[in-house]
Amino acid sequence: MIVSGHEETNVMTADWVTVISYKPFMIGIAIAPKRYTHKLIKQYKEFVVAVPTLEMLKDVWIAGTKSGPGKMKNMGITFIESKKVKIKSIKEAVANLECRVVDERDYGDHTFFVGEVVDYTYNKDAFEGGKPNMQCNFLAHVALNEFVTFEKETHKI
């Protein structure tokens, strides 16, 4: 999920999120210009990437199907202060990556915003020994309204 805005806080669901550099830590997100989030990122040049869990599914769906901060009245997430950016983080998320926009470019019908991760917070139980704990119900999107969590076993090659 992408959190944006200063005085008014907005949140939208996004699949098209990727790490693009380790050092410095950078993340890219593809956001369509018609999203309210697009306007807020252009304005404040900051955003937070919040990693949701299965328990947040209802809110993930609302954030991904309704537009603008008004959707928040139907959602159950709690916003908390971030460490380095003025955008809020989400308390219930397993991780919040605080990003400052360092580049942006339009590709087709989306804008690719590149954010440098200037700080982050995360649930220590969800990242035991530096890798995701599969018991923590990380949410993954399959298609349209279908979501899954990761299976508990990993397969090593």
- Compute the least distance from the CB of residue 113 to ligand FMN, in Å: 10
Nearest to 52 by CA among 28, 30, 75: 75
- Compute the least distance from the CB of residue 85 to ligand FMN, in Å: 18
Question: Binding ligand FMN by CB under 6 A: which of 3, 5, 10, 56?
Answer: 10
Cα(155)–Cα(157) distance, rounded to whole angstroms? 7
Nearest to 28 by CA among 37, 19, 39, 40: 19
The binding track of 73-112 with respect to ligand FMN, each residue x by CB under 6 A or -, is -------------------------------------x--
Rule CB under 6 A: is residue 35 a binding residue for ligand FMN? yes
CA angle centred on 152, ends 56 and 150, rounded to 5°: 45
Listed ranges 25-33, 79-87, 97-105, 121-129: which one lies at the site for ligand FMN (CB under 6 A): 25-33
Q: Which helix (H) or strand (E) holds 21?
A: strand 17-21
Q: Omega into 33 within 30° of 0, i.e. cis?
A: no
Rule CB under 6 A: is residue 12 a binding residue for ligand FMN? yes
Listed ranges 32-40, 43-51, 78-86, 132-140: which one lies at the site for ligand FMN (CB under 6 A): 32-40
Nearest to 117 by CA among 1, 12, 23, 13: 23
Rule CB under 6 A: is residue 68 a binding residue for ligand FMN? yes
C-alpha distances in Å from residue 44, one per residue of 6, 37, 47, 72, 143: 8, 11, 8, 20, 31
- Shorter beta-carbon distance to ligand FMN: residue 30 or 118: 30
Binding site for ligand FMN (CB under 6 A): 10, 12-16, 30-32, 35-37, 64-68, 110, 141
